[in-house]
Every structure is written in structure tokens, then in C-alpha cells.
Amino acid sequence: MPLHKDEGIVLFKRAYGESDKIIRLFTLNSGKVAAIAKGANKSQKRFMNTLEPFNHISLEYFEKHGKGMVRLENAYVIETNEGIEKSLKRACVAGFFTEFVDRLTRDREKHTELFYMLKDVLATIKQRDLTYSDVLYHELNMLQILGFEPNFQTCVYCGKAMDEEEKICFSNQRGGTLCNRCARFIAHKRYDQGVIAQLASMRGKKREQLSCEPVGNYSPFNNGNGKDVIFERDARELLEGFVSFHLEVEFKSYRILKSIMG
């Protein structure tokens, strides 16, 4: 069995038997990997405080034929999750993003850009509480990397390019905006003018910009006339409906996140 070296972010852990742990990792070079850490529950030295969720670690593991669960041999902390435990809100946001990556990626599918984005998001959460606008921003950019993003640019039925003021109809079934003509015969929901356009404007920043230009405490839905709370609520509803319908995924952590963030 060859020994592999990599770095990864701990997405999930659970006890297995009396002494072992099952770990799910999102690694830089191999994507999502399931691993067993033998004796991790009993040893006071080996893996001590290393395999905690949200930790960024270096790891060494053995695998058979590149398939199935790997055997974790060594792991060392690169960056701990310290700071996330400071509030329930931070823990819930971090839990949402790790579950988001866990549920929307396949085993052994490399996603270099997504790895660095998740790393940067967790680093930001350690420093401060994220707003709901921050959450939407990062969620949209992760969807873009994975190729699951909604179509906010053209009508998803006829392909017509639309001005921002025209973008008021969104179809979960079709996965994007509809022009007024196509909206007459395709199921959709209408949103206030500006909601879809503002969501579209949040996408596309590069990873390098995330760490030096955090979204931090601003709302792209603040249009100066007091409707920013309504706009943000509608944007949350739109994206939640799209993910639930179009990707057929329900995130357990998202229900908790909504109750915490209001």
C-alpha cells in the first residue's frame, strides 16, 4: 500500500468502535476522502486534538488501489478551528459550509479552487461573525466553482439577454431567470426589481480577493430606501429554493443556521 501525503480540512468525524474514528476530509490533491484513524480515541498523543471538525491539517495515509476508505497514519495541525467555538453562530455557519462541500462533491474528485475557498471562509469565520449577505456571497461562489450556479444572465428558456430591471422572474424548475414573455407559460416566482440583479453581482470574485477583501458587514441589498431587509430575505428564499429543487439537497445545518441568524 503506497503512502500518500496531502493536506485537508476536517469535514466530519465520528467514533467507530471503542478506539477508532471515522473521518471525512476535503483534501487539496484528492478531493473528498473518507479515512479511519486507528486507536484515535484511546491514544493521548496520536491524533490528539488534530481530527476536530474545521481543522486544517497535513496528513499521511495508506490506501488500497485508490478506492474505499484510507487508513490515516499521521496527521498534524496546520491551523486549528480556534475562534469558531466563540459563538454558536460561528459554529453553525462553519458547519453549513463544510456540509455544503461534503454534500455537493464526489469522493476523490479534486477541486483545488474550492479547497482554498473553504479554507478562506473558515479562516474568516474564526475572526468575526458573518452576515447573511456574506453567507450568500460565499455560497454563490462555491456553486459557481462546482458548475451548479443559477443562470442570472439570460432567460433560461429562450436565451434572451436581459437588462437588470427585467430580471424579476426566477424559475426553480429551469434553474434561472425568465424573460416576461417566457414567464407567461413557465412556473416561476416574481421578485422585486433588484433582488436577482444584486445576487448576480455577488458572484465571481477570485479566491485571492476573499482573504484581502472580505465581504464583512455590508449588505449588497441595501438600496438606500429601507428595503434591504426585504431584499436580503427574498434573496435567501430564492437561493434556498434553487438548491433544494434543482440540486435535490437539503442541508441539516441550514435549518439550524436560519434559526440562529433569524
Tell me if residue 153 falls in helix, strand or coil.
coil
Model pTM above 0.75:
yes
Report the C-alpha gap between 156 and 172 in whole angstroms.
Answer: 11
Number of H helices and number of E strands within the chain?
7, 8
Q: Is the pLDDT of residue 172 over 50?
A: yes
Q: Is the pLDDT of residue 171 over 60?
A: yes
Band (88; pLDDT cuts 50, 70, 90): very high
Across the range 157-168, mean pLDDT stands at: 95
Would you state the pLDDT for residue 249?
Answer: 85
Would you state the pLDDT for residue 94?
Answer: 97
Q: What is the pLDDT of residues 29-82, one digit of tens each?
A: 999 999 999 988 887 677 888 999 999 999 999 987 656 899 999 999 999 999
Residue 241: all three cell numbers together: 429554493
Q: What is the pLDDT of residues 188-246, one digit of tens each?
A: 999 999 999 989 888 755 444 443 344 444 455 554 445 667 788 999 999 999 999 98
**How far out from the chain centre does Cα 234 lie?**
20
Would you state the pLDDT for residue 2?
Answer: 82
SS3 content of the chain, % helix, strand, coil (to 5): 40, 25, 40
For 86, the enclosing helix (H) or strand (E) is none
Long-range contacts of 101-105 (CB under 8 A, 24+ apart): 101/11, 101/26, 101/32, 101/142, 102/11, 102/12, 102/24, 102/26, 102/32, 103/249, 103/251, 104/142, 104/146, 104/148, 104/247, 104/249, 105/26, 105/31, 105/32, 105/146
